[in-house]
Structure 1
Amino acid sequence: MAVLSHDTFLTGFDGGLRGGPLPPGVTARIPAEAARRFDVYRNNVAVSLTEALASRFPVIRRLVGDEFFRAMARVFAEAHRPQSPVLAEWGDSFPDFLAGFPPLANWPYMADVARIEYARGVAFHAADAEPLDPQLLTGADPETLILHLHPSLQVLASDHAAVSIWQQNQPGAQASPLPAAPETALILRDRAHEVPVHSIGPGDVAMLAAIQSGATLVASAEAGLAADPAHQAQALLVHLMQAGAIVMRRGHLP
């Protein structure tokens, strides 16, 4: 039997997992059993990928139902194989897949809900950072003070009420009328290692963007007011401080 190159073997093995013939080089002690045993392995891979996707996107699974989700997950997995053995990193292309999946054309918010779910996973696994001691801000000059935000913090804009949809599909949540306006999500990992999702307004969005760009506290607050004349910068700062989302800059004071 000819020796297969590594790439040839991988190509044949992947094709076999996708429903193709038994890959070259795959055999069993009883050769006639090889195809049947590979069928079992192929099914186990499909089930494992489906379960991994369901764990990462539980709200999507709840919204479409278990049977539909499993069928959809298999379609996705056929075209979007994991590129890493760490399945927790898989699924970044799932929201875009949902946006272009014809059976979901009448539910365009699904993709944005999935983006929230994937972002929560990214936030949960983000690097650690030491929360800033509020005492260090005492007497700091807001004209020169530059704040630093936790690596887990993300802001996701949606064309839909995606935050409310996500919130209403959490365990024990009560259904209520959805906002008519689009929502923007604030996602971060808090001090308790929970990853809450909050809807924030244009003032918060603008202030956070300014902070992340390296603007001073005064300039960031002014950006918030420019986006929303009623914006309360202090309320946002208190929320971030309580969550541990304002952090020490490595090797420096804030």
Structure 2
Amino acid sequence: MRPEASLSFADSFAPALLDPARSTPEVVTGPNGKAAGRRYDVYRNNVTVSLIDALAAVYPAVQRITGAEFFRAMARFHVRSNPPTSPLLFQYGREFPAFIEAYEHAQDMPWLADVARIERAWLDAYHAGDAAPLLPTRLSAIAPGRLADAVFIPHPAMRIVRSPFAAVTIFAANRDDAPVDRIDASRPEDALITRPEFDVAVRHLPAGGAVFAACLASGQPLGEAAATALDASPEFDIAANIAGLIEAGAFTSLACGDAS
């Protein structure tokens, strides 16, 4: 455990780092006890810039959409209201999509927060644990009469993001420097994020696919998940969705009595 004096210094030093309206803490002094306001301001600015840079690294599509100047101004407000809670910078910014959703100057881009949610899911999938994906032959080994009871175990990297906007298309169009064609943002799109091996993949789920995948990921048997998906989308294609999820590496194993 650190000495009490160290805790007292840290408690006094840190709170003003992200609040430029606060004065330099009294515990901060220069050589021979001289004032160190300028030094503290330089350090405070470096901390803020580092956190903004961390957000830009996590949300490159959002920054490309808004432009760097808009993004950094928005990120600065987020940094001041949401200090980091982990020493790992890639963990920072989980609240940023919700912040964007409420940010006054982003209201004319209502889909932007969901694009950010896909980017956050992409990074979380990238850092998720490793696991071998489920092989298609495992499903075919189950007797047809027992398929409805099959329970799928989700891959650690599996993520689902649902959006009433064309967030998947907008995300994909803005992850590199290629020209972006006109996009109808009003189309609802749901994303499946997986990383069956080394590369993260983002797929646009068909109608009912997100409901189906979420039900399976929560532990519902195949029959129940399919029924829920059909209730949500009568055009839901069970066979095509199962095949698509397995191909995407969304699951690692399944259980169905002695066929586990």
Q: Percent identity?
A: 35
Partner of 2:212: 207
Q: Which runs of 5 or more residues in structure 2 are unaligned? A: none
Partner of 1:109: 111
Partner of 1:178: 184
- Alpha-carbon separation, structure 1, partners of 2:189 and 2:232: 15
Partner of 1:18: 19
1:58: Cα distance to partner? 0.8
- Alpha-carbon separation, structure 1, partners of 2:185 and 2:37: 54
Alignment of 1:210-249 (within 5 A): 210-248=215-253
Partner of 1:189: 195
Query: Counterpart amino acid of 1:188?
Result: T
The reply to whether residue 150 of structure 1 matches residue 151 of structure 2 is no
Corresponding residue SS for 1:49: helix
1:140: Cα distance to partner? 0.6
- Alpha-carbon separation, structure 2, partners of 1:225 and 1:16: 52
- Alpha-carbon separation, structure 2, partners of 1:206 and 1:125: 24
Corresponding residue SS for 2:220: coil
TM-align CA RMSD: 2.6
Corresponding residue SS for 1:128: coil
1:81: Cα distance to partner? 0.3
Corresponding residue SS for 2:14: helix
- Alpha-carbon separation, structure 2, partners of 1:37 and 1:236: 58
Q: More strand by proportion, 1 or 2?
A: 2
Do 1:131 and 1:248's aligned partners in 2 also have CA atoms closer than 8 Å? Answer: yes
The partner residue of 2:171 within 148, 155, 166 is: 166
The reply to whether residue 198 of structure 1 matches residue 200 of structure 2 is no
1:208: Cα distance to partner? 1.4
Alignment of 1:37-116 (within 5 A): 37-116=39-118
1:253: Cα distance to partner? 6.0
Do 1:122 and 1:152's aligned partners in 2 also have CA atoms closer than 8 Å? Answer: yes
CA offset digits 1:17-75 (Å, max 9, x no partner): 52222222222335447323222211211110110010011111111111121122111
- Alpha-carbon separation, structure 1, partners of 2:215 and 2:244: 17
Distance 1:208 1:18, change over 3 A: same
- Alpha-carbon separation, structure 1, partners of 2:18 and 2:214: 44
Question: Larger deviation: 172-181 or 85-94?
Answer: 172-181
1:247: Cα distance to partner? 0.5
Distance 1:135 1:109, change over 3 A: closer
CA offset digits 1:183-202 (Å, max 9, x no partner): 222222232x2222222233
Query: Counterpart amino acid of 1:241?
Result: I
Question: Larger deviation: 91-100 or 31-40?
Answer: 31-40
Corresponding residue SS for 2:192: strand
Distance 1:226 1:89, change over 3 A: same
- Alpha-carbon separation, structure 2, partners of 1:207 and 1:143: 13
- After TM superposition, the score normalised by the length of structure 2 is 0.84
Query: Counterpart amino acid of 2:123?
Result: G
